[in-house]
Structure 1
């Protein structure tokens, strides 16, 4: 959000200077031409920053999904298949699976939604894809565990091409009310972007696949010896390429330098 606000502030300052400065008596065409020059100069600056960041990325994080060439789900014709994405996520969140991340990726996601300290006392016990609460209510990803003797639950509802439906989220919330064994229930709605928020009578955390990429890769980089690191890299490359429609692998003179700069700043923790 910080980057969006900075950009909007800069754009507003440019607008005020060109169009509301009483000392600026230029014609409209002259003002627009000046704005074009300023915007092009800013873009060229971002291009140089992106090129520098790409060179640094290749040195310090050569496994980054932005540098990859293989999209795992694309290889099976499943690049935008929601159940394929949620099946993979349930696998990397399951500490009993042999990917080498233990429960660290699930904890990394949870830290974005809850206030309690997620430490060694916070355990992940179960991670399931397509969990049926009833014949008509299927949860895409169901992750549960314990913390200091209390039970918690994380559910994820994912949409890529399917229509977003607030009634569906409400239905899931109603079914979950009977699951009184969970003291904490975290509900996550995962979509390609969060520009169009839908209304629901229950609180859902709405995140994008882009945010998911940043969260998971930032944590995964700490586990270079994990057997599943290469699979996660190929999965996240497919998220960027096929879900978010990025032009990958990234190279010098990228079409969209802003996304590259923003992604690297988030992953590096700036």
Structure 2
């Protein structure tokens, strides 16, 4: 099992596939690199995909203490160091998009280009209320109720019906996956404490922003705000709910490939 030790001793699980231009793919709040599996199947040769599990999730360690977006960004930087990768295309979805924003605003030399999907520019009132409510549901209603709401907000109704068996299995696994509960509560809390909105205007890397007009978690207006805050950013719309890298995997990969083909990387 490939593990990378970070500067504070936490071991981060990762997977690598393909050879070529390095692409670090950072998942959302669920934190597991396997989120990208469907999209990865549609990515062409000539790319090295690096899929990481956030600390506190998947095959990574679950240390006690504070969780934060900057800490996950530092883990990503440590992983690039361990793999001897000077710079990479950084692809981040949802929470992973905020990690990617943190990387490019803090260590821009490590980022060749950015893909920010289903993510946000700043913590506004709607965002805060959404994630404070999700935190309360996980704390007081339990993991299964929390996962049910995540599915209902995150996928189109037709996709839920067509994939109900797989989603039911996710519900059955929710209690085990969201342990220790305190860590997952801390991961929800970290989202409302941090953004890099004031620094977005200084990003000079080629940037693709993708949002879903039917996203129930992060509205498309957040993608518009993000793209308008980053000089030269390209904005694309792709319906498929919040989890469109899964529900529209081929179309999502195609947008990324088209973006990268236009760049002198």
TM-score of the superposition, structure 2-length normalised? Answer: 0.27
Q: Max radius of gyration: which structure?
A: 1
User: More relative contact order in 1 or in 2 (CA 8 Å, sep 6+)?
Assistant: 1
